[in-house]
Chains A and B, each alone.
Chain A
Amino acid sequence: MLEIQRGVIELNNEVIKLQDVTAGYKTVTGFKSILKRYQVVLKDINLTVSKGERVAIIGESGSGKSTLLKVIMGLLKPIKGEVYVYGKQIYKLPWRERVKIIRKIGYVPQDPYSALNPLLTVKHAISEPLEALGLKDEIIEQRVREAVKFVGLPQEVLNSTPDELSGGMRQRVLIVRALVAEPEILILDEPTSALDVSIQAQIINLLNDIYSKLKTTMITVTHDLAVAQYLADRAFILRNGSISEEGPIDQILSNPRSEYTRKLVLSYYVTSFKNNKSVGTE
């Protein structure tokens, strides 16, 4: 009896689960694309994310980070393996049904410069997810204003167009856009890599603030160990399309098990300040 209950609880807690996922892109185009020839990017990925967790997926360029995100968000059907989002096999569903599940994911894309349509106002961009839900205009307006207030953006920003905004502002707008439909999972793809140091710190603080208020599940994809340390409790190290290490982030940083992770961590310490202790300890 107890075991059954435990099983139920566990099932409810797993929001995302990847089982032996192998994914890749077709190598042939045109009519030949019916032939199933792939270049494999991800190999046998097993990954579970529970509710309310903060997870980081760490990897260098070319390690398959973005492909993994595409698989999780229902944009790329894996060659092999199963993807469960909220216990449902999303790739067994048609796109219309799949989108209903995917909507629970708020996605903040990598490049804040290509993620906003240059011809639409910020308000239009933010209200798009609500519009897709079929809400009334007044409700949309109200919720957009609330969300903008929540992340500390001025209301005037709503009527500006993206090219009037700086990178940091754009990133905030994208975070608002991801949050406005009240998602249960927040996926951040390199949330700070395009930003300057001080703006990066602002965004990191903002994201931590959001987490402490909303307790949404957060998945951060990054190449930067230091950023991951601030935004996650558990980490997966991705290397050449497979997970080379997994565990609590503090343990990975202090006591890496694989040779690759050790090298990665070490190279960070090399580029750190000469004497760490004297920095920022007031």
Chain B
Amino acid sequence: MTLPSLYSRIMRRNLRRTRFKIGVALTTIIVILSIIAPLIAPYPSEGYGYVPANASERKLLPPSTQFPFGTDALGRDLFSRVLTGTRTAVIQAVSVILISLLVGMIIGVCAAYFKGLIEVTLNYFTELFMAVPSIVIALFLRLTIGQGLHVVIISLVIAWWAWYSRIAYVYAKSIVELEYVTLAKLSGLSALKIIPRHVIRNIFQALTVQAISDLGSALLEASAINFMGLGLPPGSPEWGVILYEAITERGIEAFLFSPWLVVFPGLFIFMTTLGFSLIADPLREDLDPRLRRRWKLWF
């Protein structure tokens, strides 16, 4: 079975499941929003953090027809901000996962394929990075190179690639022992050809599923870094930053007297993460037969 046909079969089978459908729907909405957000936001410039001229008249207004999600302490339309934040959320989650996956996969597969000293060294190197939490790295980067999207992405990648490396290593370890890899080696193919063709191809499905299920966590952690003020600067269109501003300016009162400030960005984080998880769970069950159950036939 070739790779495209494998994916089409997975899609066909899973599209019958309700939670997979909901997940696909949620994720599609989020991705579409991230593309067209500046076009449909009622106040596009406020979405990017500019304080409007008449700000003093519309501070902390509750949701209304004019401002569907209300306004924040500086008088900006929260709906525009949250909507514009969708794009940052998608960029953060996807780029962190993609870069980590790429780096981790290459290092993990190399460790499994080239045995001996290379394997040992790469494994210790990987373990070293597994011990570092992303927030500590973000703090360090905040102090050395300042704020910005790159801080969030770099700190998360540094903390995350090692996990993919480990997963890739474990899967690849069982693949490299199989006879088809031995046969390829014996026929004189170089490692540069064997690794992508035989090893990466066969672990790719497992790694992609893991990556998809991690998208949600990546978004949560990125928001956490931003919420602590370590990542994007204030005013940026990012859900973590919006929450950060709400808490720094209003303190605990934000929850009590202007709940829209925390509820709407929180809701968006929740829905996006949920969408990613609902896609990933059925995929993971497909991959691991032990998780698969046939309730319909058991009873």
Interface residues in A126-160 by Cβ distance below 8 A to B read 128-129, 131-133
B102 adjacent to chain A (CB < 8 Å): no
Of A33, A75, A118, A119, the contact of B120 (CB 8 Å cutoff) = A33
B116 touches A116 (CB 8 A): no
Q: Mark B200-224, 1 if CB is under 8 A from A, else 0.
A: 0110000000000000000000000
B188 touches A114 (CB 8 A): no
Q: Mark B12-32, 1 if CB is under 8 A from A, else 0.
A: 000000000000000000000
**Interface residue count for A (Cβ, 8 Å)?**
35
A177 adjacent to chain B (CB < 8 Å): yes
A19 adjacent to chain B (CB < 8 Å): no
Of A30, A34, A103, A120, the contact of B197 (CB 8 Å cutoff) = A120
A109 adjacent to chain B (CB < 8 Å): yes
B1 touches A129 (CB 8 A): no
Most B Cβ at <10 Å: residue of A110, A119, A161: A119
A109 touches B2 (CB 8 A): no
Assembled-state Cα–Cα distance A170/B197 (Å): 20
Assembled-state Cα–Cα distance A262/B6 (Å): 52
Task: Assess A114 versus B179: contact at CB under 8 Å? Given A100-B188, A119-B202, A129-B187.
Answer: yes
A111 touches B179 (CB 8 A): yes
B179 touches A109 (CB 8 A): yes
Q: Which residue of A lies closest to B123 (CB)?
A: A30
B180 touches A33 (CB 8 A): no
Q: Which residue of B lies closest to A129 (CB)?
A: B187
B10 shortest CB reach to chain A, Å: 14
**Residues of chain B with a CB closer than 8 A to A34's CB:** 117
A30 touches B120 (CB 8 A): yes
B248 adjacent to chain A (CB < 8 Å): no
B195 shortest CB reach to chain A, Å: 13
Task: Assess A103 versus B187: contact at CB under 8 Å? Given A115-B180, A116-B180, A118-B1.
Answer: yes
Q: Mark A1-45, 1 if CB is under 8 A from B, else 0.
A: 000000000000000000000000000011101100000000000
A56 adjacent to chain B (CB < 8 Å): no
A228 adjacent to chain B (CB < 8 Å): no
B56 adjacent to chain A (CB < 8 Å): no
A177 touches B188 (CB 8 A): no
B198 adjacent to chain A (CB < 8 Å): yes
Assembled-state Cα–Cα distance A73/B186 (Å): 8
Q: Mark B158-186, 1 if CB is under 8 A from A, else 0.
A: 00000000000000000000111011111
**Residues of chain A with a CB closer than 8 A to B188's CB:** 99-100, 102-103, 129, 132-133
B189 adjacent to chain A (CB < 8 Å): yes
Q: Which residue of A lies closest to B205 (CB)?
A: A119
B187 touches A128 (CB 8 A): yes
A119 touches B180 (CB 8 A): no
Assembled-state Cα–Cα distance A34/B121 (Å): 13
Q: Which residue of B lies closest to A187 (CB)?
A: B186
Assembled-state Cα–Cα distance A121/B2 (Å): 7
B3 adjacent to chain A (CB < 8 Å): yes
A26 shortest CB reach to chain B, Å: 9
Q: List 20 A-B contacts (CB under 8 A).
A: A31-B120, A33-B117, A34-B117, A74-B186, A75-B186, A99-B186, A99-B188, A114-B179, A114-B180, A115-B183, A117-B180, A117-B198, A120-B2, A120-B197, A120-B201, A128-B183, A129-B187, A132-B187, A132-B188, A177-B183
Tell me the B residues contacting A by CB distance below 8 Å. 1-3, 6, 116-117, 120, 178-180, 182-189, 197-198, 201-202
Closest CB pairs A-B (n = 9):
A115-B179, A129-B187, A109-B179, A99-B188, A132-B188, A132-B187, A117-B180, A114-B178, A132-B189
